[in-house]
Amino acid sequence: MAESEMIRVMILDDHPIVREGLTTLLEAHPELTLVGEAPDGGRAIELCDQLRPDVILMDLIMPEVDGVTAIQSIMKSHPETSILALTSFVENEILQAALEAGAVGYLLKNISAAELAEAIKTANVGKPTLAPEATQALIHAVTAPPSLGHDLTPREFDVLNHLVEGLTNAEVAQRLGISPSTVKNHISNILSKLGAASRTEAATIALKHKLVHHSS
């Protein structure tokens, strides 16, 4: 196989044993060649400029420069490079951040050697690959009902915070520099959005769901 036909792969992981295992995997597939490896995102960014890999296998949780930051930087400088996030678990925020940063796939480290090799080939042509757990997490994020209080405005959060402190409408108005009638309107909206029947219930809900920061 000509060298030009080979897929140039770089490994980014802060654990030497993981890098060694991935290197062994790549050696078993003649169409894949390891061009470099790095223990952190900062070094990966430097190496990417030098080596111009086709595909990067990237851990997301690392010291110094984390994976998501590295993905953003590499995608800015080398948009032609395909990055596969390869991590130990699915965490919704990190998953979404990695994909938004430009990762073409999100895989778990329990993936089989054959599946990973196939994912690298798929990534090389720009097609996404997601672990089943990652797909489920994305579906759940889309279909899950919005969190309580998601529709409160910043001013309503201010008023709610003062309700939790036990302030009267007049005191809230004075604190925020608005009229008592405006405070009353905000409270009405808050009760409606939280499904509360009273100021006390709204305050209880706010504390229970950690909608406000309150120091007793």
Give how many domains the chain has, as a whole number.
2
Whether residues 54 and 103 share a domain: the answer is yes
Distance of CA 141 to the CA centre of its chain: 12
Whether residues 108 and 51 share a domain: the answer is yes
8 A C-beta contact, residue 134 and residue 91: no
> pTM for this structure?
0.64
Whether residues 133 and 188 share a domain: the answer is no
* pLDDT in 10s for each residue of the chain, 216 residues: 444 579 999 999 999 999 999 999 999 999 999 999 999 888 899 999 899 999 999 999 887 888 899 999 999 999 999 999 998 888 888 888 999 999 999 999 888 999 999 999 999 999 999 988 888 877 776 666 677 888 889 899 999 999 999 999 999 999 999 999 999 999 999 999 999 999 999 999 999 888 887 654
Whether residues 123 and 193 share a domain: the answer is no
Whether residues 89 and 164 share a domain: the answer is no
Q: How far apart are CA 23 and CA 37, in angstroms?
A: 9
Whether residues 75 and 94 share a domain: the answer is yes
